[in-house]
Amino acid sequence: MTCVFCGIPMQKRVLENEHAFAFFDLYPVQKGHLLIVPKQHRETYFDATEQEIMAIHDLLHKGKQLIEESYQPDGFNIGVNVGEYGGQTVMHLHVHLIPRYKGDIDDPRGGIRKAIPNLVPYP
């Protein structure tokens, strides 16, 4: 089976190091939404080697800089969906780096906590 992220063309890779690369999400949830992936096909975050996690970490920092230069966001969300029931739709590990903007939603409190319904009320 072919993997869409293994097939991301070189010219779309906006950042790269030895073990990872980054590209802009084709269906961004906010402008500047970046995805960071290992070069080797790994299904989930927990399948990556430590070296790959460090390479992704490096590109998270470089991606933050790149997004700040281009879009001047007011905050960020960093997220990884793991497995079908964690919401993962592309089965090649990717870390979402999502810039956030003042006013992009009415009440930003809670951030990624809002991806999942509350188990108990949050004061």
Residues that bind Zn ion (CB under 5 A): 3, 5-6, 41, 92
| Closest approach of Zn ion to the CB of residue 42, in Å | 8
Strand partners, 38: 20
29: tokens are 């949830």
Q: Which is nearer to ligand AMP, 35 or 60 (CB)?
A: 35
Instruction: List, as own/partner pairs, every contact residues 103-106 make where C-beta atoms lie below 8 angstroms and the sequence separation is at least 24, other chains included.
Output: 104/30
**Spatial CA neighbour of 35 closest among 93, 103, 104:** 93
Alpha carbon of residue 79 to chain centroid: 6
Q: Which is nearer to ligand AMP, 2 or 118 (CB)?
A: 2
Q: Is 2 in the site for ligand AMP (CB under 6 A)?
A: no
Q: Is 83 in the site for ligand AMP (CB under 6 A)?
A: no
Q: What is the CA radius of gyration of the chain?
A: 15
Site string for ligand AMP, 34-73 (x = CB under 6 A): -x--------------------------------------
DSSP 70: H
Q: Is 11 in the site for ligand AMP (CB under 6 A)?
A: no
What are the residues binding ligand AMP (CB under 6 A)? 4, 25-27, 35, 81, 87-90
